[in-house]
A = this chain, B = another copy of it.
Amino acid sequence: MIHEKFPSKLLENAVDEFAKLPGIGRKTALRLVLHLLRCDESDVELFGQSIIQLKKEVKHCNVCYNISDTETCSICSNPSRNNSIICVVETIRDVLSIENTQQFNGQYHVLGGIISPMDGVGPNELEINSLIKRVETNDVVEIILALSTTMEGDTTNFFIYKKLKEHEVKITTIARGVSIGGELEYTDELTLGRSILNRLNYSDILNH
Protein backbone atom coordinates (compact mmCIF):
# COMPACT_ATOMS: atom_id res chain seq x y z
CA MET A 1 0.00 0.00 0.00
CA ILE A 2 1.31 3.37 -1.00
CA HIS A 3 1.12 6.04 1.65
CA GLU A 4 2.01 9.31 0.06
CA LYS A 5 2.44 12.31 2.28
CA PHE A 6 -0.05 14.47 0.41
CA PRO A 7 0.79 18.16 0.27
CA SER A 8 -2.90 19.00 0.69
CA LYS A 9 -5.54 17.65 3.07
CA LEU A 10 -8.24 18.45 0.51
CA LEU A 11 -6.44 16.36 -2.09
CA GLU A 12 -5.90 13.51 0.35
CA ASN A 13 -9.58 13.62 1.29
CA ALA A 14 -10.73 13.42 -2.34
CA VAL A 15 -8.28 10.59 -3.08
CA ASP A 16 -9.51 8.70 -0.01
CA GLU A 17 -13.11 9.02 -1.21
CA PHE A 18 -12.29 7.76 -4.72
CA ALA A 19 -10.21 4.89 -3.32
CA LYS A 20 -13.32 3.63 -1.49
CA LEU A 21 -14.91 2.76 -4.85
CA PRO A 22 -14.69 -0.92 -5.83
CA GLY A 23 -11.72 -1.72 -8.06
CA ILE A 24 -10.15 1.73 -7.60
CA GLY A 25 -6.81 1.70 -5.81
CA ARG A 26 -5.01 4.74 -4.43
CA LYS A 27 -2.88 5.20 -7.56
CA THR A 28 -5.92 5.24 -9.82
CA ALA A 29 -7.81 7.43 -7.34
CA LEU A 30 -5.01 10.00 -7.46
CA ARG A 31 -4.98 9.89 -11.27
CA LEU A 32 -8.75 10.49 -11.41
CA VAL A 33 -8.66 13.31 -8.86
CA LEU A 34 -5.77 15.05 -10.64
CA HIS A 35 -7.74 14.74 -13.88
CA LEU A 36 -10.74 16.42 -12.26
CA LEU A 37 -8.45 19.14 -10.90
CA ARG A 38 -7.49 19.99 -14.48
CA CYS A 39 -11.16 20.29 -15.52
CA ASP A 40 -13.25 23.45 -15.31
CA GLU A 41 -14.86 24.15 -11.96
CA SER A 42 -18.33 23.93 -13.51
CA ASP A 43 -17.60 20.44 -14.88
CA VAL A 44 -16.36 19.27 -11.48
CA GLU A 45 -19.50 20.73 -9.89
CA LEU A 46 -21.63 18.80 -12.43
CA PHE A 47 -19.71 15.61 -11.67
CA GLY A 48 -20.12 15.88 -7.91
CA GLN A 49 -23.74 16.99 -8.04
CA SER A 50 -24.75 14.25 -10.51
CA ILE A 51 -24.09 11.52 -7.98
CA ILE A 52 -25.47 13.46 -4.99
CA GLN A 53 -28.66 14.24 -6.90
CA LEU A 54 -29.01 10.64 -8.10
CA LYS A 55 -28.76 9.33 -4.55
CA LYS A 56 -31.22 11.91 -3.21
CA GLU A 57 -33.88 11.78 -5.89
CA VAL A 58 -33.82 8.34 -7.46
CA LYS A 59 -36.77 6.07 -6.72
CA HIS A 60 -37.46 2.39 -7.02
CA CYS A 61 -40.38 1.46 -9.24
CA ASN A 62 -43.28 0.41 -7.01
CA VAL A 63 -44.08 -2.50 -9.34
CA CYS A 64 -40.79 -4.11 -10.35
CA TYR A 65 -38.30 -2.37 -7.96
CA ASN A 66 -36.10 -1.28 -10.85
CA ILE A 67 -34.44 2.14 -10.53
CA SER A 68 -36.72 4.88 -11.79
CA ASP A 69 -37.23 8.64 -11.79
CA THR A 70 -40.98 8.15 -11.41
CA GLU A 71 -43.19 6.09 -9.08
CA THR A 72 -43.67 3.46 -11.79
CA CYS A 73 -40.77 2.85 -14.15
CA SER A 74 -40.85 3.37 -17.91
CA ILE A 75 -40.89 -0.38 -18.58
CA CYS A 76 -43.80 -1.14 -16.24
CA SER A 77 -45.84 1.80 -17.50
CA ASN A 78 -45.21 1.02 -21.19
CA PRO A 79 -48.56 -0.23 -22.59
CA SER A 80 -46.91 -1.95 -25.56
CA ARG A 81 -45.04 -4.39 -23.29
CA ASN A 82 -46.48 -7.75 -22.37
CA ASN A 83 -47.33 -7.62 -18.67
CA SER A 84 -48.25 -11.30 -18.43
CA ILE A 85 -44.59 -12.39 -18.59
CA ILE A 86 -42.26 -11.38 -15.75
CA CYS A 87 -38.50 -11.92 -15.90
CA VAL A 88 -37.02 -12.21 -12.40
CA VAL A 89 -33.48 -10.80 -12.09
CA GLU A 90 -31.05 -9.94 -9.31
CA THR A 91 -30.09 -6.36 -10.09
CA ILE A 92 -30.80 -3.45 -12.37
CA ARG A 93 -27.66 -4.35 -14.35
CA ASP A 94 -29.36 -7.58 -15.41
CA VAL A 95 -32.36 -5.56 -16.62
CA LEU A 96 -30.04 -3.43 -18.75
CA SER A 97 -28.27 -6.52 -20.15
CA ILE A 98 -31.53 -8.19 -21.15
CA GLU A 99 -32.96 -4.95 -22.57
CA ASN A 100 -29.81 -4.67 -24.71
CA THR A 101 -30.57 -8.00 -26.39
CA GLN A 102 -33.91 -6.57 -27.65
CA GLN A 103 -35.31 -10.10 -27.40
CA PHE A 104 -37.68 -9.61 -24.47
CA ASN A 105 -40.87 -7.59 -24.46
CA GLY A 106 -42.25 -8.60 -21.07
CA GLN A 107 -41.75 -6.99 -17.69
CA TYR A 108 -39.17 -7.43 -14.93
CA HIS A 109 -38.97 -7.99 -11.23
CA VAL A 110 -35.73 -6.93 -9.56
CA LEU A 111 -35.09 -9.01 -6.42
CA GLY A 112 -32.21 -6.86 -5.23
CA GLY A 113 -29.93 -9.88 -4.79
CA ILE A 114 -30.17 -13.62 -4.19
CA ILE A 115 -30.64 -15.74 -1.08
CA SER A 116 -27.19 -16.04 0.51
CA PRO A 117 -27.11 -17.06 4.18
CA MET A 118 -23.32 -16.49 4.24
CA ASP A 119 -23.89 -12.80 3.50
CA GLY A 120 -26.93 -12.60 5.76
CA VAL A 121 -29.35 -12.27 2.86
CA GLY A 122 -32.58 -14.20 3.44
CA PRO A 123 -35.84 -14.21 1.45
CA ASN A 124 -37.18 -11.31 3.49
CA GLU A 125 -34.32 -9.05 2.44
CA LEU A 126 -35.32 -9.57 -1.19
CA GLU A 127 -38.37 -8.50 -3.17
CA ILE A 128 -39.79 -12.05 -3.23
CA ASN A 129 -43.03 -11.38 -1.35
CA SER A 130 -43.81 -8.52 -3.71
CA LEU A 131 -43.25 -10.93 -6.63
CA ILE A 132 -45.72 -13.45 -5.16
CA LYS A 133 -48.26 -10.66 -4.62
CA ARG A 134 -47.73 -9.50 -8.19
CA VAL A 135 -48.50 -13.00 -9.47
CA GLU A 136 -51.56 -13.27 -7.21
CA THR A 137 -53.10 -9.93 -8.13
CA ASN A 138 -52.22 -9.77 -11.82
CA ASP A 139 -52.83 -11.97 -14.83
CA VAL A 140 -49.32 -13.39 -15.00
CA VAL A 141 -48.87 -16.34 -17.36
CA GLU A 142 -45.14 -16.96 -17.12
CA ILE A 143 -42.28 -16.27 -14.71
CA ILE A 144 -38.80 -16.45 -16.28
CA LEU A 145 -36.09 -17.00 -13.66
CA ALA A 146 -32.87 -15.30 -14.84
CA LEU A 147 -30.63 -15.56 -11.77
CA SER A 148 -26.96 -16.52 -11.44
CA THR A 149 -26.06 -20.18 -12.04
CA THR A 150 -24.58 -20.50 -8.57
CA MET A 151 -25.68 -22.39 -5.50
CA GLU A 152 -27.29 -19.18 -4.20
CA GLY A 153 -29.07 -18.66 -7.52
CA ASP A 154 -30.32 -22.25 -7.51
CA THR A 155 -31.54 -21.85 -3.91
CA THR A 156 -33.41 -18.68 -4.82
CA ASN A 157 -34.89 -20.31 -7.93
CA PHE A 158 -36.13 -23.23 -5.84
CA PHE A 159 -37.52 -20.94 -3.13
CA ILE A 160 -39.52 -18.94 -5.67
CA TYR A 161 -40.63 -22.14 -7.42
CA LYS A 162 -42.00 -23.58 -4.15
CA LYS A 163 -43.82 -20.34 -3.33
CA LEU A 164 -45.41 -20.17 -6.77
CA LYS A 165 -46.11 -23.80 -7.65
CA GLU A 166 -49.68 -23.66 -6.32
CA HIS A 167 -50.42 -20.71 -8.57
CA GLU A 168 -51.36 -21.28 -12.18
CA VAL A 169 -48.21 -19.81 -13.65
CA LYS A 170 -45.61 -21.37 -15.91
CA ILE A 171 -42.13 -21.14 -14.41
CA THR A 172 -39.13 -21.22 -16.77
CA THR A 173 -35.43 -20.46 -16.50
CA ILE A 174 -33.20 -18.96 -19.17
CA ALA A 175 -31.21 -21.49 -21.23
CA ARG A 176 -27.60 -22.25 -20.30
CA GLY A 177 -25.25 -23.65 -22.89
CA VAL A 178 -22.32 -23.10 -25.19
CA SER A 179 -22.20 -19.42 -26.13
CA ILE A 180 -22.80 -18.42 -29.73
CA GLY A 181 -19.45 -18.27 -31.51
CA GLY A 182 -17.92 -20.32 -28.69
CA GLU A 183 -15.91 -23.47 -29.39
CA LEU A 184 -16.69 -26.73 -27.60
CA GLU A 185 -13.03 -27.22 -26.76
CA TYR A 186 -12.96 -24.08 -24.63
CA THR A 187 -16.34 -24.47 -22.94
CA ASP A 188 -16.25 -25.58 -19.31
CA GLU A 189 -17.48 -29.12 -18.60
CA LEU A 190 -20.50 -28.08 -16.53
CA THR A 191 -21.87 -25.81 -19.24
CA LEU A 192 -21.14 -28.32 -21.99
CA GLY A 193 -22.77 -31.10 -19.96
CA ARG A 194 -25.84 -28.96 -19.35
CA SER A 195 -26.08 -28.06 -23.02
CA ILE A 196 -26.15 -31.77 -23.94
CA LEU A 197 -28.80 -32.60 -21.35
CA ASN A 198 -30.96 -29.68 -22.49
CA ARG A 199 -30.48 -30.36 -26.19
CA LEU A 200 -33.10 -28.94 -28.53
CA ASN A 201 -34.96 -30.28 -31.52
CA TYR A 202 -33.22 -28.97 -34.59
CA SER A 203 -36.54 -28.35 -36.29
CA ASP A 204 -37.53 -26.04 -33.41
CA ILE A 205 -34.44 -23.94 -34.02
CA LEU A 206 -35.16 -23.72 -37.74
CA ASN A 207 -38.56 -22.25 -36.95
CA HIS A 208 -37.09 -19.46 -34.82
In the complex, which of the residues B10, B24, B54 contacts A54, with contact meaning CB atoms closer than 8 Å?
B10
Query: Considering only CB atoms and an 8 Å cut-off, how many residues of chain A contact the other chain?
Result: 60
Main secondary structure of the interface of A (DSSP, over half): helix
When the two chains form their complex, are residues A92 and B7 in contact, meaning their CB atoms are under 8 A apart? yes
When the two chains form their complex, are residues B35 and A21 in contact, meaning their CB atoms are under 8 A apart? yes
A47 to B8, CA, bound (A): 17
A75 to chain B, nearest CB (A): 6
Residues of chain A in range 1-54 having any CB-CB distance to chain B below 8 Å: 2, 4-11, 13-14, 16-18, 20-24, 28, 30-37, 39, 41, 44-54
Given A17-B50, A21-B35, 10 extra CB contacts under 8 A: A7-B61, A8-B58, A14-B54, A21-B36, A24-B32, A33-B51, A37-B54, A39-B55, A44-B51, A45-B55
When the two chains form their complex, are residues A96 and B31 in contact, meaning their CB atoms are under 8 A apart? no
A66 within 8 A of partner (CB): yes
When the two chains form their complex, are residues A14 and B67 in contact, meaning their CB atoms are under 8 A apart? no
In the assembly, how many copies of this chain are there?
2
Known: A92-B34, A93-B34, A96-B4. A9 touches B48 (CB 8 A): no
When the two chains form their complex, are residues B23 and A36 in contact, meaning their CB atoms are under 8 A apart? no
A95 within 8 A of partner (CB): yes
A-B contact pairs, 10 of them (CB 8 A): A7-B67, A8-B68, A10-B50, A21-B36, A23-B28, A33-B51, A34-B91, A36-B55, A48-B48, A48-B49
A124 within 8 A of partner (CB): no
When the two chains form their complex, are residues B32 and A54 in contact, meaning their CB atoms are under 8 A apart? no
When the two chains form their complex, are residues B34 and A73 in contact, meaning their CB atoms are under 8 A apart? no
A71 within 8 A of partner (CB): no
A14 cross-chain contacts in B, Cβ below 8 A: 50-51, 53-54
When the two chains form their complex, are residues B51 and A36 in contact, meaning their CB atoms are under 8 A apart? yes
A57 to chain B, nearest CB (A): 6
